[in-house]
């Protein structure tokens, strides 16, 4: 499988004008590769989704550089063939899967069509591959013939993951993928993603405001506060020996002692 890597240098994103706008992200310098599972944690409004959307080429940085496999995201966005390859390599899974599925289509169609246009699979091939990926997620292919309102929230999130995985991405950006789900269904999805990362060497960038899920799935953490990374390191180090005051405050909000954070989700 191909290697894939993001390199970020002093990335900033401002919404609105220089004078009256709002800086959502600033000074981010980092690397993310397909061999890593990196958690990005921070409170609501700290800039996590803006970062995720920039990584997925859905938003452009105001300044600084984001390169994917050596190529500037801005250049990838400007070239249709490059963007198609990029969409095969990097997939976003979001929180609100209700609105991301077109109610006029079956779940199967919503999975098949984008895969066909990105990979050039025939209809028959895409149909069969949809069955495979749906089964991989522990769902029945028969259920895929329903519209998205015909399944539960947890099932719909699994279909959203199937839709991302059908193109065999090298890096998955997961933005609050379990935050809206009951704890009882979160564990299965987190375990699936963790196993997928390990077995396929697909990178995971796991964005969330919830520490237990994030530390369970991620071997590294970035703590985001007001648009900046205030702490970065291995998950174990960050939860056992936090350096930044904000991280200490964040950890204090959890009943569990750090060592049991994993057990809470598993």
Ligand X SMILES: Nc1ncnc2c1ncn2[C@@H]1O[C@H](COP(=O)(O)OP(=O)(O)O)[C@@H](O)[C@H]1O
Residue ranges that bind Mg ion, judged by CB under 5 A: 48-49
Q: What tokens appear for 34 in the block?
A: 């397909």
Among ligand X, Mg ion, none, partner that 123 touches (CB below 5 to 8 angstroms by kind): none
State the Cα–Cα distance between residues 243 and 232, nearest whole angstrom: 9
Nearest alpha carbon to residue 31 among 155, 171, 153: 171
Of Mg ion, ligand X, none, which one sits near residue 148, judging by CB under 5 to 8 A according to partner kind? none
CA distance 194 to 200: 10
CA dist 69 to 74, 84, 86, 172, Å? 13, 14, 10, 15
Q: From the CB of 48, what's the least distance to ligand X, in Å?
A: 3
Q: Which does 130 bind (CB under 5 to 8 A by kind): ligand X, Mg ion, none?
A: none
Nearer Cβ to ligand X (42/242): 42
Q: Closest CB to ligand X among 28 and 204?
A: 28
Nearest approach in angstroms of CB 152 to ligand X is 25
Q: State how far the Cα of 235 lies from the Cα of 263, in Å rounded to an integer.
A: 14
- CA–CA gap between residue 110 and residue 125 (Å, rounded): 15
What is the C-alpha separation between 197 and 205, in angstroms, rounded? 10
In the block, residue with structure tokens 């990362």: 197
Interface ranges with ligand X (CB under 6 A) = 15, 22, 24, 42, 44-50
Query: Which value, in Å, is the radius of gyration of the alpha carbons in the chain?
Result: 18
CB of 47 vs Mg ion, minimal distance in Å:
9
Q: Cβ of residue 215: shortest distance to ligand X, in angstroms?
A: 17
In the complex with ligand X, the residue whose CB is nearer, 43 or 259, is 43
Closer CB to ligand X, 50 or 218, in the complex: 50
Q: What is the DSSP letter of 115?
A: H
- Residues in Cβ contact with 117 at an 8 Å cutoff, skipping those fewer than 6 apart: none
> Which of the listed partners (Mg ion, ligand X, none) does 248 bind, with a CB threshold of 5 to 8 Å by partner kind?
none
Q: Cβ of residue 179: shortest distance to Mg ion, in angstroms? A: 9
Contacts of 62 (CB under 8 A, 6+ apart): 12, 13, 14
The least distance separating ligand X from the CB of residue 25, rounded to whole angstroms, comes to 7
- Which CB, 8 or 41, lies closer to Mg ion? 41
Comparing CB distances to Mg ion, the nearer of 49 and 235 is 49
Whose CB is nearest to Mg ion?
49
């Amino acid at each position: 499988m191909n290697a894939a890597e993001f390199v970020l240098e002093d990335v900033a994103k401002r919404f609105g004008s220089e004078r009256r706008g709002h800086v959502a992200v600033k000074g981010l310098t980092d690397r993310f590769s397909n061999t890593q599972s990196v958690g990005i944690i921070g409170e609501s409004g700290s800039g996590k989704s803006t970062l995720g959307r920039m990584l997925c080429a859905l938003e452009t940085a105001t300044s600084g550089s984001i390169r994917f496999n050596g190529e500037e995201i801005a250049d990838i966005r400007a070239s249709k063939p490059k963007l198609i390859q990029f969409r095969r390599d990097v997939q976003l899974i979001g929180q609100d899967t209700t609105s991301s599925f077109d109610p006029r289509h079956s779940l199967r169609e919503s999975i098949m069509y984008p895969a066909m246009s990105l990979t050039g699979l025939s209809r028959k091939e895409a149909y069969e591959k949809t069955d495979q990926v749906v089964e991989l997620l522990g769902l029945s292919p028969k259920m895929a013939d329903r519209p998205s309102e015909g399944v539960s929230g947890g099932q719909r999130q699994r279909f959203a993951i199937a839709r991302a995985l059908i193109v065999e991405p090298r890096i998955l950006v997961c933005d609050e993928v379990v935050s809206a789900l009951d704890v009882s269904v979160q564990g299965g999805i987190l375990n699936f993603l963790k196993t997928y990362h390990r077995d396929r060497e697909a990178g995971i960038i796991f964005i969330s405001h919830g520490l237990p899920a994030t530390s369970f799935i991620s071997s590294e953490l970035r703590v985001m506060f007001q648009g900046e990374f205030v702490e970065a390191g291995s998950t174990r180090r960050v939860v056992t020996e936090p350096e930044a005051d904000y991280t200490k405050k964040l950890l204090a909000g959890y009943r569990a002692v750090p060592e049991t954070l994993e057990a809470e989700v598993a």
